[in-house]
Structure 1
């Protein structure tokens, strides 16, 4: 299913990274690990620069870090497509883990499935490794704050 390209972003990649750094500084304490690397109509790509602090025993990226990457992808989507309100919150997030992810860049290719007045539904294909194989797939829903609901009417 293609991204909902009728939805135009209102923030650039740089602007959303700056906003997240301001409203969510604890996300990248110790160095920028999570970041948006592309924002486009109906979607975005976010990256986890996975190093030893993100690894579980056995040397693979931990599930909680992949889950966080998917959630950050949804947050970037809602901030860039529904309004830059930091109070948007996750109401649901499901993830399926498919293979191990090694340290290094792990990308989540995210797309809006539905953007309404009060909710945004999205999915994320998380890829890693030299062959960029899918390591996980997530679906989620974000609640859009009431201030932005009126603007969407």
Structure 2
């Protein structure tokens, strides 16, 4: 039953992501074999006109949640890269933390497929749906 330990999550957060992604202050709440939950704390720095959280921050949240999801499926980080990310913005998000729930659809030897649903903290209905495809890269021996 893979997943990631708190130590693995912390190591990934500090070593894998660009400084600007680290500046988002994402909180990884859980990483299981087929599900990952990541929180984006609300910040005025991430808003645009009208106080809504900008799409760039939401897409970065979804992309990062997928890295944790695929790693959790393997039980460890493996090199990977985003192949596609299709984002559907269904409702604006503002004034609250954003919760990303990533779900694994299929994991193969070289490809992984998942969905990420973003919602405002306290809401059940998703505001954003992201369909993602990742290539699993060969590990250096």
Q: Same fold (TM over 0.5)?
A: yes
Task: Name the residue aligned to 1:28.
Answer: 22
Q: Secondary structure at the match of 1:131?
A: coil
Aligned length: 139
What TM-score comes out, normalization by structure 2 length? 0.87
What TM-score comes out, normalization by structure 1 length? 0.81
Task: Name the residue aligned to 2:5.
Answer: 12
The whole-number CA distance in structure 2 between the counterparts of 1:79 and 1:95 is: 21
**Paired residues of 2:62 and 2:116 also in contact (CA < 8 A):** yes
Q: How does 1:1-153 map to 2 (within 5 A)?
A: 8-24=1-17, 26=19, 27-29=21-23, 33-82=25-74, 83-85=76-78, 87-147=79-139
Deviations 1:100-148 (Å, cap 9, x if unpaired)? 1013310111110000000100001111054343110010011111129
For the aligned residue pairs, the C-alpha RMSD in angstroms reads: 2.0
Q: Which runs of 5+ in 2 are unaligned?
A: none
The whole-number CA distance in structure 2 between the counterparts of 1:105 and 1:14 is: 24
Q: Which has the higher strand share?
A: 1
Q: Which runs of 5+ in 1 are unaligned?
A: 1-7, 149-153
The whole-number CA distance in structure 1 between the counterparts of 2:67 and 2:90 is: 23
**Paired residues of 1:111 and 1:122 also in contact (CA < 8 A):** yes
**Paired residues of 1:101 and 1:129 also in contact (CA < 8 A):** no
